[in-house]
Amino acid sequence: MKGKKILAALTAVLVVSLLGCGDPAIGNLQTITISANSTNLVGEGGTLQLHATGVYSTGQRRDLTSRVTFTASVTPGSFTDGGVQLPTPPATVMLNATGLVTAVAPFVCTWVDTTPASTTPSWAISGSYTFMATFGSVSSQPIFVSVASAAPSDPNNTTGKCGPS
């Protein structure tokens, strides 16, 4: 019986240590900041990487990207350039456990040319996806990502079909 109590105590210490809660070396997790290498997902199969950084009560910062749970949702009031409501993930955007976002079918554009008669497009965002990261009871601020997966293959986007690329 005594061995089971010691094992249970060691397991509890290990779990607390792994979560970063109550570990005097790094303190308690206070905030999570989410960032990305871009806020526009471009091209069919295009990707962007989300990153999560934790700030602890001691002021230490830790990369939590591989430890958080990422979530994706349609930002309320978001539409494609054709006025259709954005599909719910995993349609259009697929998010994996490591924070990699990939453009998948159906491919869409959430950019609208506000001056279609002009030869030089002027772009506005018509919709986006919201991404967040959560670890334990702490959640990040949202990050908003527009989508240009229906962008033309023209690398300079001279046809002006789907926002700035």
Question: What's the predicted TM-score (pTM) here?
Answer: 0.80
Ordered per-residue pLDDT tens for the chain, 165 residues: 555 444 444 444 434 444 444 456 788 999 999 999 999 999 899 999 999 999 999 999 999 999 999 999 999 999 998 899 999 999 999 999 999 999 999 999 999 888 878 778 888 999 999 999 999 999 999 999 999 988 654 444 455 578 876
Return the SS3 of 115.
coil
The 8-class DSSP code of residue 92 comes to S
Rounded distance, CA 82 to CA 96, Å? 28
Ordered domains of the chain (ranges, CATH): 30-148 (2.60.40)
Cβ contacts of residue 160 below 8 Å, gap of 6+? 113, 121
Residue whose tokens read 């079918």: 105
Give the β-pairing of 143-148 and 40-42: parallel
Rounded distance, CA 149 to CA 110, Å? 9
